[in-house]
Amino acid sequence: MKNLTPLAQTYLDRFDAARRSLPGHASPAVTALRESGLARFKALDFPGRKVEEWRFTNLSPLTKGIEAMEAPATSLPVAEFKTPHVMTFINGRFSHANSALGELPKGLTLTSFASELDAGNSTLLESDAEDSRAVVALNTAFMEDGFVLTAAENTTLDTSILIRFVSLDGTADNARHMRNIIRLGKNATVTLLEEHAGADGHAYFANPVTDIALEEGARLNHYKFQAESNTAFHLATTDCEVPAGAHYENFSLSTGARLSRNEITTRITGDKALSSLNGAYLIRGHQHCDTTTITRHLVPENESKQVYKGILDDDAQGVFQGKIQIVPDAQKVSGDQLSRALLLSDRASVAVKPELEIHADDVKCSHGASSGELDEDALFYLQSRGIDGKTARKMLIDAFLADVLDEITDEAVRSFFAAITARWMEEV
Amino acid sequence: MAIARETVEQVNSVSDKYKYGFFSDIESDTAPIGLSEDIVRFISAKKEEPSWLLEWRLKAYRHWLTMIEPEWANVHYPKIDFQDIYYYSAPKQKDKPKSLDEVDPELLEVYKKLGIPLKEQEVLAGVEGAHNVAVDAVFDSVSVATTFRERLEKEGVIFCPISEAVRDHPELVQKFMGSVVPYTDNYYAALNSAVFTDGSFCYIPKGVRCPMELSTYFRINAAQTGQFERTLIIAEEESYVSYLEGCTAPMRDENQLHAAVVELIIMKDAEIKYSTVQNWYPGDENGVGGIYNFVTKRAACRGDNAKVSWTQVETGSAITWKYPSCILQGDNSVGEFYSIAIANNMQQADTGTKMIHLGKNTSSTIISKGISAGKAQNTYRGLVRMGRKAANARNHTVCDSLLIGDKCGAHTVPYIENQSRTATVEHEATTSKVSEEQLFYCQQRGLSEEESMALIVNGFCKEVLQKLPMEFAVEAQKLVGISLEGSVG
């Protein structure tokens, strides 16, 4: 048998000692779950580039083992996004002191996953036992905390919930295996923003897994701002089931991490369901950002849409892999996808793999992908109108991003994200 | 509209689906079944090859033994038993024929039946102003005839079986063979390098525009035989050649393997246009029999302003695994790929292209039309890579898939890697079915459902069909109609 990667070996060695302090250690069901996760992870190891799904993202900087950086611990930054409902996790654990859950509507609960596990509640993870993804298996073995959001039938939240995952140092055990659960009842509507942040110079590995199930007619606006430390690793996995009449909207804005991957799988299981996955990544330096989506249309008459845009400067590397799968007999399905990347530097690069796998004939599917620099003609046009080069470039980049930011339904989040992208652009 | 009408007529007139499925009882000379170093030596000895070539074959064979059969393609088939294949089969002949008149009349009959005239005076008789076509006919493992050789020699063009080129022009073969597709390239290329038996060799000298289309016609006849041919085309500076390739095989219950390697080398300001109409036996509607077509085709644009154009119409074969590629090394070089892949019944096709941009201002175009019907699976798999030095390179890709029937599948797997800021890569793909409105419109004008379908599909493929040389375009258009027979209603 081939040797495990050093980091994988570390996890295997550490498991016995660690599990006694992990939440739910008194519960046999939780223990069994962790052991099965560890066994699967041992068999899988971290994926190498020979694994087709990971051919563009080289995990070896992570799997060699993370060195703790000598960076001073920082204090919690004030949240920029204002909302009455804030839940904060510091270094992978729920921080009651820094959270203000506010008054949530009746039928809506927001708790910490660790407290659920400590209460022996493992039923939330029934689907987990068969998962063949290494990072998910690792998460199952070591999951420590996260949020659990449930909404009863017809519950509507008018504002939004902010969940903050903040890393304040680069030591601890260098990893945050967060497990988040979202369950929305029939016709419930919730808006949620996740913030993943850490101060530059701190090295750690964030491995969040989010499991979402919507019931008929439910709507979830799920936004994510990934601004991890520039020396951190962030591998996020999100699964969502979208039944009849439900609408899942996801928008991910990524500006952080040395190496990040945002993998989203949606399973569309009902008619008139809509999965709308969008995002933008703005990276520079030696950052590597991977966006991977898998959209599975399992029944007839539903729709999926995707728009992803990336701006890459310096030596940054962008990856987009998007697969649309339509199973036999899933007729009258529409699936559209667009990915575009803007290269601002001669050393930046992008790898794209938009994939269609279609087994039904009465469908409409398309994907488009493009990459390149700013349009010279457009630049010239603006300059000939008396706009200086720098402003003209900024206008064109703004316009490039505006398209995708417009996909965000929630106005407050849209303007928050617009402010972040504007700030990023000032440094171009 | 005339062409469309012709297609419809053709669809009506053809009663049997695969008219090339006959077998000719021609006595042949075969090597013992199976594969070993001795078989490689046997083939090399039969061909009276120089020792360097035998060494090369043996190196390829030894390398092949260390390789694993690729499984990444979206095709499914039982494991091939490489020891259950004849690697050499040649029609028996007493002496090498000196002219076409001495070629076994039965062989000529085969080609006549296939519609490939080997008698020069018959070539496209009566079509005024049309180009003549020089044909190299490859039957199982050997080339049986090559037409118009004298005419071509006058221009300095060398067009002959590759086994003859090894004998008469060893310096050219040694210099270029394996320089685009090395024997280490992939599993089937390694196998081919070890056991290749014949194929065509073309050399177009500097400044020459080849006076006629060159063509090779491949025919598998013997049972249980694999065909491993190797084609090598070299276009020197400022030259031009258009090359056509066609292939058929008898209907059999067994699967036969065809693993070819095609290498094109294009120098400064030269151009090669390479067209294929692939019509190997596809197997019956239950997926019994048919050819496994596992082919490596690659072109290297070595000089500035070189141009290569691949056009393919893939209608046959039980399984197709083929990615004609372009390596654009020279500045301003151009690569084109136009493809129609039709998969009906139980056929599986995994095909596409690779465009590797290395030089400045290189450009490439990919137009791929995939049509799936019956229970077939059709995959486009392609790579566009812009290297760091490919300043101002451009690529434009369009992949369209058409689905006919609810049991088939259409898949698109493009890989796009851009490392050049000033390069522009555009990719678009769509998948849809034949619209009810279009069908209704045609039927309302008095066409049957099947005629309407052929008309619409031909329209869908038009962009690619237009790129084929005239001689091939007509045949290809008919094929499109025939291949889809039985897919509607």
The ipTM, to two decimals, is 0.86
Separation in Å, CA of B245 to nearest CA in chain A:
31
Asked if B403 and A360 come within 8 Å (Cβ–Cβ), the reply is yes
Choose, out of B363, B412, B422, B424, the residue to mutate when testing the contact with A (most A CBs < 10 Å).
B412
Q: Which of A12-21, A355-364, B53-62 has the highest mean pLDDT?
A: B53-62
Query: Does B415 lie at the interface with A, CB-CB under 8 angstroms?
Result: yes
Would you state the pLDDT for residue A29?
A: 86
**Residue B195 contacts residue B164 (beta carbons within 8 Å):** no
Which residues on B lie below 8 Å from A348 (Cβ)? 421
3-state secondary structure chain B: CHHHHHHHHHHHHCCCCCCCCCCCCCCEEECCCCCCHHHHHHHHHHCCCCHHHHHHHHHHHHHHHCCCCCCCCCCCCCCCCCCCCECCEEECCCCCCCCHHHCCHHHHHHHHHCCCCCCHHHCCCCCCCCCCEEEEEEECCEEEEECCHHHHHHHCCEEEEHHHHHHHCHHHHHHHCCCCCCCCCCHHHHHHHHHCCECEEEEECCCCECCCEEEEEEECCCCCECECEEEEEEECCCCEEEEEEEEECCCCCCEEEECCEEEEEECCCCEEEEEEEECCCCCCCCCCCEEEEEEEEEEEECCCCCEEEEEEEECCCCEEEECCEEEECCCCCEEEEEEEEEECCCCEEEECCEEEECCCCCEEEEEEEEEEECCCEEEEEEEEEECCCCCCCEEEEEEEEEEECCCCEEEEEEEEEECCCCCEEEEEEEEEECCHHHHHHHHHCCCCHHHHHHHHHHHHHHHHHCCCCHHHHHHHHHHHHHHCCCCCC
Torsional sign, CA B478, B480, B486, B489? negative
Other beta carbons within 10 angstroms of residue A151's beta carbon come to 27
SS3 A337: strand
Separation in Å, CA of A334 to nearest CA in chain B:
10
**Partner-chain residue, chosen from B414, B415, B432, that has the shortest CB–CB distance to A364:** B432
Choose, out of B398, B401, B416, B426, the residue to mutate when testing the contact with A (most A CBs < 10 Å).
B416
Would you state the pLDDT for residue B100?
A: 62
Q: Identify which of B458, B406, B413, B414 has the alpha carbon closest to the alpha carbon of residue B433.
A: B406
Q: Identify which of B230, B366, B228, B392 has the alpha carbon closest to the alpha carbon of residue B308.
A: B366
Among chain A, residues having any CB pair with chain B shorter than 8 Å are: 52, 328-329, 331, 341, 343-373
Would you state the pLDDT for residue A170?
A: 61
- pLDDT by residue (tens digit) across A76-103? 889 999 999 999 999 999 999 999 999 9
Bridge partners of B384, per DSSP, are B355, B416
**Residue B43 contacts residue B195 (beta carbons within 8 Å):** yes
Separation in Å, CA of A4 to nearest CA in chain B:
23
Would you state the pLDDT for residue A244?
A: 97
**Partner-chain residue, chosen from A356, A357, A361, that has the shortest CB–CB distance to B433:** A361
Would you state the pLDDT for residue B98?
A: 57
**Partner-chain residue, chosen from B412, B419, B420, that has the shortest CB–CB distance to A356:** B412
Amino acid present at B367 = I
d(CA B80, CA B258): 12
d(CA B20, CA B273): 26
Separation in Å, CA of A317 to nearest CA in chain B:
9
Between A and B, how many residue pairs show a Cβ–Cβ distance under 8 A? 117
- pLDDT by residue (tens digit) across B56-85? 999 999 999 999 988 888 888 888 899 988
SS3 A27: coil
Asked if A372 and B423 come within 8 Å (Cβ–Cβ), the reply is yes
Give the CA distances from residue A29 to residues A32, A129, A179, B22, B402, in Å, rounded to whole numbers and listed in that order.
5, 12, 17, 67, 50
**C-alpha triplet A243, A244, A248: angle, nearest 5°:** 55
Higher pLDDT, A387 or B211: A387
Other beta carbons within 10 angstroms of residue B124's beta carbon come to 13
* Pairing, β A147-151 against β A189-198: unpaired
Q: Could you tell me where the DSSP H helices lie in A271-410?
A: 376-384, 389-405
Least CA distance to B391: which residue of chain A? Answer: A346
Would you state the pLDDT for residue B122?
A: 45
**Residue A169 contacts residue A35 (beta carbons within 8 Å):** no
Both structure tokens of A208: 């969040």
Which residues on B lie below 8 Å from A365 (Cβ)? 430-432
Average pLDDT estimate for A116-135: 77
Which residues on A lie below 8 Å from B419 (Cβ)? 349
pLDDT(A357) > 90 = yes
Query: Does B54 lie at the interface with A, CB-CB under 8 angstroms?
Result: no
Would you state the pLDDT for residue A163?
A: 97
**Partner-chain residue, chosen from A352, A357, A358, that has the shortest CB–CB distance to B416:** A352
Q: Identify which of A409, A322, A394, A404 has the alpha carbon closest to the alpha carbon of residue A357.
A: A322
Q: Identify which of B358, B398, B420 has the alpha carbon closest to the alpha carbon of residue A373.
A: B420
Both structure tokens of B369: 């039309």
Would you state the pLDDT for residue B7?
A: 47
Which residues on A lie below 8 Å from B432 (Cβ)? 363-365
Average pLDDT estimate for A62-68: 83
Q: What is the mean pLDDT of chain A?
A: 92
Asked if B427 and A358 come within 8 Å (Cβ–Cβ), the reply is no
Amino acid present at A54 = W
Rg (Cα) of chain B, in Å, rounded?
A: 22
Would you state the pLDDT for residue B380?
A: 94
- pLDDT by residue (tens digit) across B326-359? 999 999 999 999 999 989 889 999 999 999 999 9
| CB proximity list for B55: less than 8 A, separation 6 or greater | none
pLDDT(A59) > 60 = yes
Asked if B418 and A364 come within 8 Å (Cβ–Cβ), the reply is no
Bridge partners of B295, per DSSP, are B322
Which residues on A lie below 8 Å from B381 (Cβ)? none
Least CA distance to B430: which residue of chain A? Answer: A366
**Weakest-pLDDT range from A6-20, A110-124, A408-422, B385-399:** A110-124
**Weakest-pLDDT range from A39-48, A373-382, B5-14:** B5-14
d(CA A4, CA A98): 39
Higher pLDDT, A127 or A158: A158
Would you state the pLDDT for residue B16?
A: 45
d(CA A15, CA B473): 67
**Weakest-pLDDT range from A5-19, A34-48, B459-473:** B459-473
Separation in Å, CA of B362 to nearest CA in chain A:
14
- pLDDT by residue (tens digit) across A331-341? 999 999 999 99
Query: Does B409 lie at the interface with A, CB-CB under 8 angstroms?
Result: yes
| pLDDT more than 70, % of chain B | 88
Phi, psi (rounded to 5 degrees) for B99: -140, 175
Would you state the pLDDT for residue A424?
A: 94
Least CA distance to A326: which residue of chain B? Answer: B409
Give the CA distances from residue B290 to residues A2, A221, A268, A373, B33, in Å, rounded to whole numbers and listed in that order.
40, 52, 38, 47, 20
Per-residue pLDDT of chain B (489 residues; tens, 9 = 90+): 344 455 445 444 443 467 777 777 777 778 888 899 999 999 999 888 999 999 999 999 999 999 998 888 888 888 889 998 889 888 775 555 556 666 677 777 777 766 666 655 444 333 333 445 677 777 776 776 777 888 888 899 999 889 889 999 999 999 999 999 999 999 999 999 999 988 889 999 999 999 888 888 888 777 778 889 899 999 999 999 999 888 777 777 888 899 999 999 999 999 999 998 888 888 888 888 888 999 999 999 999 999 999 999 988 889 999 999 999 999 999 999 999 998 988 999 999 999 999 999 999 999 999 999 889 999 999 999 999 999 999 999 999 999 888 889 999 999 999 999 999 999 999 888 888 888 899 999 999 888 888 888 888 888 888 888 776 777 777 777 777 776 664
Would you state the pLDDT for residue B285?
A: 82
| CB proximity list for A326: less than 8 A, separation 6 or greater | A297, A333, A335, A357, A358, A359, A360, A363, A365
